[in-house]
Homo-oligomer: A and B are copies of this chain.
């Protein structure tokens, strides 16, 4: 039996286009016959390293205004609920991503991640406080209090830092990003189809 191709999906809970990608990546990957490895991380440290103190969508208002409109349009096109903007943007995603890192090889990583995105962008709820993340974990039938506590352990915090450093060293500069196992990098929800094709060995003709 041939090994199923693998594509890494690097995502950030504060990122609107990571949300759109998270809600459609499973169906698209299944159709393409590709296994997705979900890789939660933080883009904040990468943005800070290039001198940004907040999201570029806040730094550049015309760009930010159209981003929200575009996300509304794309969400509607994908059949997602109407987008509701969280009161804070970008939200502090540290508590949520620590839990996701703890869940890296667990079967609850994907439902947890989708629940965080849905809370943030479909329901406009805060995901910033540990209590909000606890509630989301609880809603999956797991022990939220214990999970959030375990996620704050030093070893898990280090795992997150290592993931962010891995992202940077592999050329990631934003979210979402798709990484094929040969290192080919595709940035943005709009490149999911191309990344899946690449992972299956379907490359554009004439590419040098």
Residues of A within 8 A of B (CB): 50, 59-60, 62-63, 65-66, 69-70, 72-74, 76-77, 79, 82, 171-174, 185-188, 190-191, 194, 204-208
Residue of B nearest to A60 (CB): B50
In the complex, the count of this chain's copies comes to 2
Complexed CA–CA distance, A77 and B79 (Å):
28
Instruction: Please pick, from B70, B76, B82, B172, the residue contacting A186 in the complex, using a CB distance under 8 A.
Output: B70
**A206-B82, A208-B82 known; A171 and B76 CB under 8 Å?**
no
Which of A62, A63, A73 has the most CB atoms of chain B within a 10 A radius of its CB?
A62
Contact call A66/B171, Cβ cutoff below 8 A: yes
**A69-B185, A171-B66, A191-B70 known; A204 and B77 CB under 8 Å?**
yes
Residue of B nearest to A62 (CB): B173
Whole-angstrom distance between the Cβ of A188 and the nearest chain B Cβ: 8
9 sample A-B contacts, Cβ–Cβ < 8 Å, listed by A number: A50-B59, A63-B174, A66-B171, A66-B185, A76-B205, A76-B207, A79-B205, A79-B206, A82-B208
Q: A194 to chain B: which residues have CB within 8 Å?
A: 73-74, 77
What would 13 more interface pairs be, CB under 8 Å, given A76-B207, A79-B206?
A: A50-B59, A50-B60, A62-B172, A65-B171, A66-B173, A66-B187, A72-B208, A73-B194, A76-B205, A76-B206, A77-B194, A79-B205, A188-B190
